[in-house]
Amino acid sequence: MALSSPRRTPLSDQVIAQLRAQITSGEWPVGSRIPTEASLVEQLGVARNTVREAVRALAHNGLLDIRQGSGTYVLATSELAGVMHRRFADADQAQVAELRITLETSAAGLAATRRTDRDLALLDATLARREEAWQSGDAEDFVQADAAFHQAVVAAAHNDVLAALYADLGEVTRAHLRHDVGPELIAERYLGHDEILDAIRAGDSQRASVEAGRAIGACAPTDS
């Protein structure tokens, strides 16, 4: 989606709308760094203060995260997702795991009976990306790839309400994944998700639910 120069006032509202569109459309994915302030000024053809005001407004709404010395990053795809992130930033991770189990086991069960060939192709692609991310050794890359696979499972359930709710909880679930994975990838804690996909492909709703539940928290270190 190409950025275009705003033509009507108030400029700040139009810039906010355009930047929000870049985020909600996926042009700027969650976790990505948006163009610099100077670049946005050039692309939009507006004053630096107007761009700064728009970015701050979207940060206030929870869509962007301004990191001094690093840049501005996409935090969520909607205002509600931003609210969810702030509301549950300090949530008990065991309770987040229970929430994920509730949502993801149901989604996997539904996906096994509703998945299409297109869904299976996306699941194959996201699972392969997850494996590549693990092999790369980059913990954050793996978190993002793992989250994408689980999102694809939810999408395959073909329940718009469930998909929207899960998407709005995206940063909450990614924070839980980061908690489980830790700062570095440990081979002994790895668990593949082939069983989830195999069950969905086979149309086995019960097994898909069981495997989805088993996968949650599998990377978490156990107390010695």
Q: How confident is the model at residue 167 (pLDDT cuts 50, 70, 90)?
A: confident
Mean pLDDT of the chain: 88
Predicted local confidence at residue 223, as pLDDT: 46
Please answer whether residues 193 and 127 qualify as being in contact, where contact means their C-beta atoms are separated by less than 8 angstroms: yes
Q: Which of these ranges, 7-16, 85-94, 110-119, 164-173, has the smallest mean pLDDT?
A: 7-16
DSSP assignment of the chain, as one string?
Answer: -------SS-HHHHHHHHHHHHHHTTSS-TTPBPPPHHHHHHHHT--HHHHHHHHHHHHHTTSEEEETTTEEEE--SSHHHHHHHHHTTT--HHHHHHHHHHHHHHHHHHHHHH--HHHHHHHHHHHHHHHHHHHHT-HHHHHHHHHHHHHHHHHHT--HHHHHHHHHTHHHHHHHHHHHH-SS--GGG----HHHHHHHHHT-HHHHHHHHHHHTTTTSPPP-
Predicted local confidence at residue 224, as pLDDT: 38
Residue bearing tokens 């994944």 = 177
Distance CA 46, CA 6 (A): 8
pTM listed for this prediction: 0.72
